[in-house]
Amino acid sequence: MAEPTASRPVEGVLWMLATGLCFVAVTGSVRALGTDLPAPESAFLRFVFGSIFLAPVLTRMLKAGLPHGAGLLFAVRGGLHALATVLWFYAMARLPVAEVTAIGYLNPIVVTLGAALLLGERLAARRLTAIAVALIGALVVLRPGLRELSLAHLAQLSAAVFFGLSYLIVKRLSALASATEVVAMMSLTVAIGLLVPALAVWVTPDARQLAILVLVTIFATGGHYAMTRAFAVAPLTVTQPVVFLQLVWATILGAVAFGEPADPFVILGGAMIIGAISYMTWREAKLRRQAVTPPVTATKD
């Protein structure tokens, strides 16, 4: 049976364009926030606002009770996401917008490797090759040996790893709760997890800083919503390549808003990473279609 979403690719592309713009707006907003607020506090406030926005969903969930077996997964996912978010806030306040965006493309690579190591998924030769290309792309972005790598670079690399592990748990949670419930519980558990670290370094935020964090929450929520809509109306093979435009938007934003010159190494490395991810997405979608309606002459890949 053909995918019902395949007949609406233009709508899917438009939703994914909106996704990229929203996430770049998140990145730019955090960059504008700067280093005046400690990263744990900034991340904590962002997820407190997110919990407030999703309070109706949280109230309904807590009244009904969490799905069986989901409590521990929600807690572990919240801890991983909390750590990743603090690292990301730290890196974003100190690195060019485009560079953080390019390194962040490693998240799906971490998910793929984690699924193989932790969930027993098979890694075929093509997927291993794509992963190798993506990792080479990351080296092109970072250029170790050609320049000094800062703590912010290491923080963003670590954030990509912890975000990837967080998304691995989402693969399990998606069978137990809806996407909205997963996002709502993420906001709550991350806010709880960051409460003590935030209080330990607390600096009273001013009105401007609070307004920026509200914008971060709105753009992040809008980005997740647009991405969900994109996945609902078009196959990943159509929407995934559009993700690369996020790096274009980030480069333009960095140049216009923060005076950051376009770095050809970041563009090239980012293109290598997203190209590898797009190939893996296309290949896995093709294999899934073959598994549903295999041709008479089908053979194992």
Render pLDDT for 135-166 as a digit per residue (tens, 0 to 9): 999 999 999 877 888 999 999 999 999 998 99
Residue range(s) defining the domain that contains residue 249: 4-292
For residue 272, is it within any domain? yes
For residue 286, is it within any domain? yes
Backbone angles phi, psi at 147, to 5 degrees: -155, 165
pTM: 0.82
For residue 79, is it within any domain? yes
Q: What is the pLDDT at residue 277? A: 83
For residue 271, is it within any domain? yes
For residue 298, is it within any domain? no
- State the total domains in the chain: 1
Render pLDDT for 224-236 as a digit per residue (tens, 0 to 9): 888 878 877 777 6
pLDDT average per 10 residues of sequence, the chain (301 residues): 54 88 91 92 95 94 88 94 95 92 88 82 82 92 87 95 89 82 91 96 96 94 83 72 83 92 92 86 70 43 47
CB atoms within 10 A of CB 133: 17
Q: What is the pLDDT at residue 232? A: 74
Q: What is the per-residue burial (b if ≥16 Cβ within 10 Å, else e) of 192-217?
A: bbbeebbeeeeeebeeebeebbbbbb
Query: Per the structure block, which two tokens stand in for 141?
Result: 């972005």
Q: What is the pLDDT at residue 1? A: 37
